[in-house]
Structure 1
Amino acid sequence: MSSDTTTLRPIAERAQAPAEVRVPSTATGLTWRPLTPSDTPALTRLVNDIEVADAEPFRTSDEEIAERFDGSGKDIARDTLAGVDEDGELRAWAFVVQPPGDVSVVRTFLEGGVHPRWRGRGIGREVLAWEVDRARQLLAATGKDVPARIGAFASEQAAATVGLLRSAGLTPVRVYFEMRRPLDVALPDAPLPPGLRVEAWSDARDEDARLAHNDAFASHWGSEPRTPESWQEGRAQFAPGWSLLAVDDATDEIAGYLVAGRYEQDWEVAGYSSGYVELLGVRPAWRGRGIAPALLTAFMARLREEGIQVAELGVDTENRSGALGLYTRLGFEAFHSSTLYSIEL
């Protein structure tokens, strides 16, 4: 989203933050409280039940749920919601996240869901109203007078969720594909150009990689700078042995990078083993030299050496870098689609 920030009203006005959030009613049979880290096992079960009902091609792990509570900037008591039945079972959940490093667009993301057996009672609508209220409060509190977004992702087949988001005023703004490529067929011939080398991921290079990522994604739609803390978040399934760096021999600078994930909990659902590309980027000064396909090919070769059957990745279908075309040329095919719905402020 592009906008002249000089014409924007202050974020405190645009956010229209309520003094109090709308807490869901107890009339549905659920009582409401914040989530806590001790809810992790129950929340994992709930999230997995929702994923089964919505025919998602993945499963969220206990470790991924646990790390949602990490981060010094999160106010778990105010940014989360748990709906509990009379037996103490978790039946609904919500989490509102505001990434602290946002500069050009300040964002909030809404996550949550209702157990399949508790749907159709208006709970989801009330949970979403609470989320939007809290998102508005968080945006106002940033004091960042730049464009703002309240966003939520929904898979294409999750019709109930899509309908709920639309009814709450969130509209589709971006479509994302999940793509895969079998590794039992020949890999492309895509070596790095002269003057560059591939290095294995290392802790010593981690901060350099963060800075390289911020440089590579500075002009990408929907991307904001990663702080040192946010760069470390979301690594429950990080696979350093599959992650790679493209390094300039002359300057020893990182020209490109590939961050990989290993989601073994998805393998039974998918029917095959896989490695996932979390992030792939090339810094502007090194673009147009074949670094991205070289890193992807090296990644796939590592997977195949370990007996992994499929390489997977996600892509913004409107990415101006031509990523979708690159992945298609390398043999990747889309198998799942999701959409970002938003309220733009």
Structure 2
Amino acid sequence: MDATTNRPMTELDLVFRAWSGGPDAIEMARVSNAANLAEGVDHHNTAEQLANYFSHPGDHFDAARDVVMVEHGTAVVAYGWHNWIDTTDQVREHRLAGYVDPEWTHRGIGRQLLGWLEARARASVQEHPTQLPAFYGSWADEQRVGKQVLLEREGYAPLRWFFDMRRDGLDVVDVTEMPDGLDIRPIGTDRVSLRRLFDADAEAFQDHWGGFPTDDAAFEEIVNDPDFDPSLHVVAWDRDEIAGAVINAIPRAENEALGRRRGWLESVFVRRPWRRRGLAQAIVARSLVALRERGMDHAMLGVDADNPTGALGVYARAGFVVVKRAAAFRKPMEVSAP
């Protein structure tokens, strides 16, 4: 029986195959955008973005092993991927994600895809041994009811909530003074400067729950993204030290596809020695101005609902309001001895 409708599931002759690069990115964009539209998720992928996202192999992720395309006949009906991270709460989390074409839902494809990804995660544990407890992890926006039902039915539990916040009215922004001794200067566009900013961001987020890859592959994925534009970043300096920054982006293809003028504060961070001085408020405000000057009429950001550094208060004071919730799910992994 299907987990969301209690209807009988049709047995399908499915083929699970490896990712083949650019042509598959086109199909990925088609499937994910159809799923987003059907579930009311206001996000739009392009083949170029997806090809970049999956094209930088490293220890944590290699598309040759970690991406799967699901076909029925000649049609791509779903796809998924796996990566892993040693989290700040001291577990090895194997993150599983994917999409099913809405024309093919309620037929058990999502359950079979999840099973393939879990098997890949177990193999990855053997390839990258660890003493940390191993978990499967996944993510579901609140609109993705079917995915939440599937995850909970398969033994996953929501562990942490995250918010998307929106700030309208960029024509009115209260720009606070910079803390004493700090100033705003551009970041260089050379690889050394950009890697320095990337590493400062990673360092600041060591205090936050979860974590993200910080290796060379993750850096290359970011700087090769079609929307990457360091001229939008707002970087605070204490002489020659990066004190904090906001990594801003304008998703131009998505904006065009969805008919809007949205900018994202993709990462807001302040390093430990410069916290509790009002720096976050100052660089967030300057980011809103930077997006306004590029023609945007609203801004978005994501935040951990239990952020330990007071970020929710900073964003609320800057005029952001919560517009969407999403949950991080986990399930313990039973790992066989090698």
Report the TM-score when normalising by structure 1.
0.85
Which of 28, 42, 45 is equivalent to 2:27? 42
Which of 219, 228, 231 is equivalent to 1:241? 231
Q: Equivalents in 2 of 1:116, 1:41: separation in Å?
A: 17
The answer to whether the Cα contact below 8 Å between 1:57 and 1:269 also exists between their aligned partners in 2 is: no
Which of 259, 277, 282 is equivalent to 2:247? 259
Matches within 5 A, 1:1-345: 27-37=11-21, 38-73=23-58, 74-86=61-73, 88-99=74-85, 104-204=90-190, 205-224=193-212, 226-234=214-222, 235-249=225-239, 252-267=240-255, 271-344=259-332
Q: Letter of the aligned partner of 2:297 in structure 1?
A: Q
The answer to whether the Cα contact below 8 Å between 2:11 and 2:107 also exists between their aligned partners in 1 is: no
The answer to whether the Cα contact below 8 Å between 2:56 and 2:62 also exists between their aligned partners in 1 is: no
Q: Which residue of 2 aligns with 1:16?
A: none
The answer to whether the Cα contact below 8 Å between 1:107 and 1:139 also exists between their aligned partners in 2 is: no
Counterpart secondary structure, 1:298? helix
Q: Equivalents in 1 of 2:332, 2:52: separation in Å?
A: 28
Distance 1:255 1:110, change over 3 A: same
The answer to whether the Cα contact below 8 Å between 1:188 and 1:297 also exists between their aligned partners in 2 is: yes
The count of corresponding residues between Structure 1 and Structure 2 is 318
Q: Equivalents in 1 of 2:138, 2:151: separation in Å?
A: 8
Counterpart secondary structure, 2:313? helix
Counterpart secondary structure, 2:174? coil
Q: Which stretch of the first structure deviates more once superposed, 271-280 or 252-261? A: 271-280
Q: Letter of the aligned partner of 1:78 in structure 2?
A: R
The answer to whether the Cα contact below 8 Å between 2:71 and 2:78 also exists between their aligned partners in 1 is: yes
Counterpart secondary structure, 2:99? strand
Distance 1:157 1:101, change over 3 A: closer
Counterpart secondary structure, 1:181? strand
Unaligned runs of 5+ in 1: 1-25
How far the C-alpha of 1:143 sits from its partner, in A, is 1.3
Distance 1:102 1:80, change over 3 A: farther
Distance 1:77 1:121, change over 3 A: same
Q: Equivalents in 2 of 1:261, 1:314: separation in Å?
A: 13
Q: Equivalents in 1 of 2:213, 2:83: separation in Å?
A: 15
Q: Equivalents in 2 of 1:147, 1:291: separation in Å?
A: 37
Q: Letter of the aligned partner of 1:39 in structure 2?
A: D
Report the TM-score when normalising by structure 2.
0.87
Distance 1:100 1:233, change over 3 A: farther
The answer to whether the Cα contact below 8 Å between 2:200 and 2:271 also exists between their aligned partners in 1 is: yes
The answer to whether the Cα contact below 8 Å between 1:183 and 1:300 also exists between their aligned partners in 2 is: no
Q: Letter of the aligned partner of 2:163 in structure 1?
A: F
Q: Which stretch of the first structure deviates more once superposed, 223-232 or 307-316? A: 223-232
How far the C-alpha of 1:124 sits from its partner, in A, is 0.9
How far the C-alpha of 1:230 sits from its partner, in A, is 1.4
Q: Which residue of 1 aligns with 2:4?
A: none
Deviations 1:203-250 (A, max 9, x none): 34212212212321112110256123312324332232211211102x
The answer to whether the Cα contact below 8 Å between 1:96 and 1:135 also exists between their aligned partners in 2 is: yes
Counterpart secondary structure, 2:34? helix
Q: Equivalents in 1 of 2:155, 2:253: separation in Å?
A: 34
Q: Equivalents in 1 of 2:250, 2:289: separation in Å?
A: 15
Deviations 1:56-77 (A, max 9, x none): 0111122221023222324433
Percent identical across equivalent pairs?
A: 31
